[in-house]
Amino acid sequence: MVKVGVVGYGVIGQRLADGVALQKDMELVGVADVSPTLAIRALKEKGMPYNFYLGMPENLHMFEELGIPVSGTLEELVQKTDIILDATSAGVGAKNKELYAKYNRKAIFQGGEKNSVADVFFHGYANYEKGLGKQFLKLTSCNTTGLIRSVDCLDREFGIEKVAITIIRRVADPGDYHRGLTNALQIDKAPSHQAVDLMTIMPHINATGILVHTPVTHGHIITVVATPKKKISKEEAIECFKKHPRIRVVRIADGFLGNASLFRYARDLGNPRGDMYEIALWEESVVNSGDDIMYAINIPQEAVTIPETIDGIRAALMMQPDRISATSETNKYLGMGKWIQK
């Protein structure tokens, strides 16, 4: 059993912990953070299903006052694990890396860190083999992770030369008060970092894109104009997407009108927190533009990177030798692709 620790128990960290806890071949040793946030209070109210380690010992009294049991320090957690999933705020991971290196532990960082923090910039489906045995991996960010799923899916079947993307970005997560936008769209300097990141992971593809922030919380939408080696029909593209265990092809006609329908559906499915690990792709969005294929996907920003991060554990610790066997294990324990109709 591979021993895993999660450092940073925020939006991503909580979901990483839950995702690891579902993997039958992994053990979640514990989670770490620095102060009694609402997430920690919820952990306490749930009865401490995970052990908690404290990253800032001077705050111990806060936890004692609240009756939250502390199992040790961050340093102790690191020592007890084979690999750390670092989901701290951007920049903190680079500092924590020294601790992981001190004990010669492996670690996977999230998209907020700089690429230089890691030996490899990683995506479970697109470049699993590059992560094999590496000490430090960095995951693609939420948009890039979902985007690459769809582009890699087409690329492996048809060959893709070029993509031009438009990211309609949700600006905050539900419950965020430290950031937000009110009645405004905001545009970033092009090309968007997601397009650049895609080229880092898939260097044979030319990519560019524009990102626009929108005042919503329930998932980004990305439109993709993909130029294939030879024309792909709409039907072929849809068929290809439908077979991917981390892509859910949905229909407007069935009631999936936008990102908020998907969130509601996930809540009604009983998914914890109403989360979705899969991206959704709207069947009625797929159109040909000359020989290019254009389509729209939904990125559930809170949970979409969890499967690929778990793939990263498999790569770093060489649990499986290749992308197919590794992602299959991750998918099985996360219940991904169950919606695919045989």
Residues recognised as catalytic:
142
CB 301 within 8 A of CB 280: no
Return the residue of 45, 58, 65, 235 that touches a copy of itself, per CB under 8 A: 45
Residue 254 near a copy of itself by CB under 8 A: yes
User: Would you give the DSSP letter of residue 35?
Assistant: S
Own/partner pairs, 22-25, CB within 8 angstroms, 24+ separation? 22/333, 22/334, 23/310, 23/329, 23/330, 23/333, 24/333, 25/1, 25/319, 25/329
How far is it, in rounded angstroms, from Cα 338 to Cα 278? Answer: 11
Residues 62-121 that bind a copy of itself (CB under 8 A): none
What are the structure tokens assigned to 162, written together? 């070029």
Stretch that binds a copy of itself, among 142-150, 151-159, 162-170, 311-319 (CB under 8 A): 162-170
Contact segment (CB under 8 A) with a copy of itself among 32-40, 83-91, 120-128, 152-160 equals 32-40
Q: What is each CA distance from 112 to 141, 144, 180, 315, 331, in whole angstroms?
A: 7, 12, 18, 21, 24
Pick the piece of the chain touching a copy of itself (CB under 8 A) from 21-29, 93-101, 131-139, 156-164.
Answer: 156-164
Q: Which C-beta is closer to a copy of itself: that of 103 or that of 339? A: 339
Does 18 count as an annotated binding residue? no
73 vs 11: CA distance, rounded Å? 21
Instruction: Please identify, using beta-carbon distances, which residue of 56 and 318 lies nearer to a copy of itself.
Output: 56
User: What part of residues 124-153 is at the interface with a copy of itself (CB under 8 A)?
Assistant: none
Closer by beta carbon to a copy of itself, 115 or else 288: 288
Closer of 14 and 327 to a copy of itself (Cβ): 14
CB of 105 to a copy of itself, least distance (A): 27
For 201, the token pair is 């992971």
Q: Looking only at residues 259 through 288 of this chain, which bind a copy of itself when binding is defined by CB under 8 A? A: 259-261, 263-265, 267-270, 272-274, 282, 284-288
Q: How far is the CB of 63 from a copy of itself (least distance, A)?
A: 13
In the Cβ-directed half-sphere of 317, how many Cα atoms lie within 13 Å? 23
Q: What's the CA angle centered on 12, arms 321 and 30, to 5 degrees?
A: 75
Q: How many CB atoms lie within 10 A of CB 55?
A: 20
Least gap, CB of 28 to a copy of itself (angstroms): 15
Q: Which of 73, 135, 208, 328 binds a copy of itself (CB under 8 A)?
A: 208
Residues 224-253 that bind a copy of itself (CB under 8 A): 225, 227, 252
CB-side neighbour CA atoms (13 Å) of 335? 11
| Residues that contact a copy of itself, how many (by CB under 8 A) | 85
Annotated binding site for NAD(+): 33
